[in-house]
Structure 1
Amino acid sequence: MSKSEVQRARLTLIKAGKHPSIDAIRIELGNTGSKATIYRHIKEIEADEGSSGAPAASISEELQALVANLAGRLEYESQERLNVLQAGHATQIQRAAEALQRAQDDARNRRAELARCQSDLAGERSARQHADAELAALRLESSQQAAQLGAQVQGLQDQLSAAQAHAVSLEEKHTHAREALEHFRTSSREQRDREARQHEQQIQYLQKEVSTGSASLTAKHTELRSALQEKADALAQLTGARAEKRQLDDLLRELKPAAERLAVQTEVVEQLRGQVAQASQQNQALLARASELGQRNLELERLLAAAEAAAQAQARVMQDVLTRISEGAERSAGKMQPT
């Protein structure tokens, strides 16, 4: 923007009876050029007009020019001051907006963290309920298994008692059989000794009474066959007793795995008791974790309330700043209006 263009636009406005202000000259120039450059050229033109040998203008024209110059200067200085104030206010507004944005971001982060904590708390509660359900199921299963094991133990004990009673009975029968066999052997031996003595004593008599002796011998043979039959019966009883003993041994061998299973089941019961104790400890830990999460939730709610209060306070401060800026701009605009 050259000085001659500014001077030409200024003269055009003066001839048209208009005040040659900075804005009017800029409009006359087609809204081009900066106000500072136009103001500098106006000052140079006024200085040139004051030092030239042109005829002096009338007092009214000088007053109008003076008023125009003062109005231009006032407008320029007001514009400069308004620009400074607007820049400062814009900086304050930017800072307040950034602080508000930080507070809102902080509040969103707090809300997100609160949501995460609530989700964690819900998960912990669900895990606790699941653990309680598993603990109840374990207790029920343990009680059922304990009842079943008790019934099985009782059954095995009854079977063992019956087997022991049967074994005692078989042993008694075996003892009686041995006693009977021993008695038969003793009786036979005594009978043979007695018969030998009688034979030695009565050999002469027997020679005389052959016929009587033959009859007596026949009777003895019959008695001997009876004794032999009793011996065979005793041997049969002994064989039966031995068979029953083998059955008893087989039964005891069959009961041995059952006893081992009983020991294993007893160990399983002990393991289940350990699992129940461990589940109880886990339940206590979950209760402590839930209490800790509840306290953390309360602390986060308190921090969120404080952040929201701070955000509201900053919003009020920003609103007050904007109000003061608007009022200052209106006052500046009122001062700049020509009287």
Structure 2
Amino acid sequence: MARPGVSKAEVQRARLGVMKAGRHPSIDAIRIELGNTGSKATIYRHLKEIEADEGGVSSPSTSLSEELQAFVVNLASRLEYESRERIEAQQAGHAAHVKRAAEALERSQAEARGARLDAERLASELASERARRHEVEADLAAAKLALARQTAQLSAQLDGVQEQLKSAQSHVASLEEKHGHAREALEHFREASRDQRDREARQHEQQIQYLQGELRNVSDALAAKHGELRSALQEKADALGQLTGVRAEKRQLDELLRELRPAAQRLAAQNQVVDDLRAQASQAGSQYEALLARATALGERNLELERELAALGASAQAQDQLMKDVLARIGAAGNPPILTQAES
């Protein structure tokens, strides 16, 4: 049996040890660090006091996904602890009730009224559990919607960057064509000037100056387009950085889903306990049928929760595939070569 009276200082030392080991400081992890001693209620109370002493608010550098992960993990720990306490209390009360029914079956009507009250109380507790599960599902749906929105925004930004790259490449190609025409015109002019140098020296000089001015203009325009191309490449690099951040958030959500699966397994174990209680309650008479029906409904809800968790896992895989497709599109676009000015 776990020893009572675990101090706040012991809980704080165990919490620091768990965090240094790179694990989440849940109630079970801290209890294991303490050598499987101390009640979970005492550990939970000390943890709340420690969090209040530390400010109770995450640092500005903590991301939204980390806060959501900590919230869901703490909520799952609290649900597990409260569910275990309720199940243990219900087991003790029900065992006593069955014993009284076996000793005096003729007083079963009076005891049945007490059983109905217990069934109503259990129904209220089950409704509260369903409300808590709905809150967790709403938080997961909100996180999924935020991730989808961020992915759509990054896709739109990536399309814009690709359009800018195409436009810059088109401008550079146009400038190269103009530059080539200018070089051809200059070569043609030089060949003609060698034949008419004596007669058209002044005209030749004017044409040379004009062409040199055109070449300077073309070179300046080409340099400006190179600057625009570098800016577009920088925007592409920024988009890649944002995609990397989105992938990191997606990995955090995957870890969150993996941590929720043990909670679903524990709920399935609790469902088995409820089934055992239903089998024992059936021996007391038809008065317990309502309680057994509600326990069966709880088992069906647990199965629905497991299917929803599986659906969330499939959705996370689809998000991972979407990230791979976006990165493949970026890799296929490639970095266009930086063109150099041709010698005149």
TM-score range, shorter chain: 0.3 to 0.5
- TM-score between the two structures when normalised by the length of structure 2: 0.41
Structure exhibiting the larger radius of gyration computed from Cα positions: 1
**Structure with more of its chain in helix, by fraction:** 1
Which structure has more RCO (C-alpha within 8 Å, separation ≥ 6)? 1
- TM-score between the two structures when normalised by the length of structure 1: 0.41
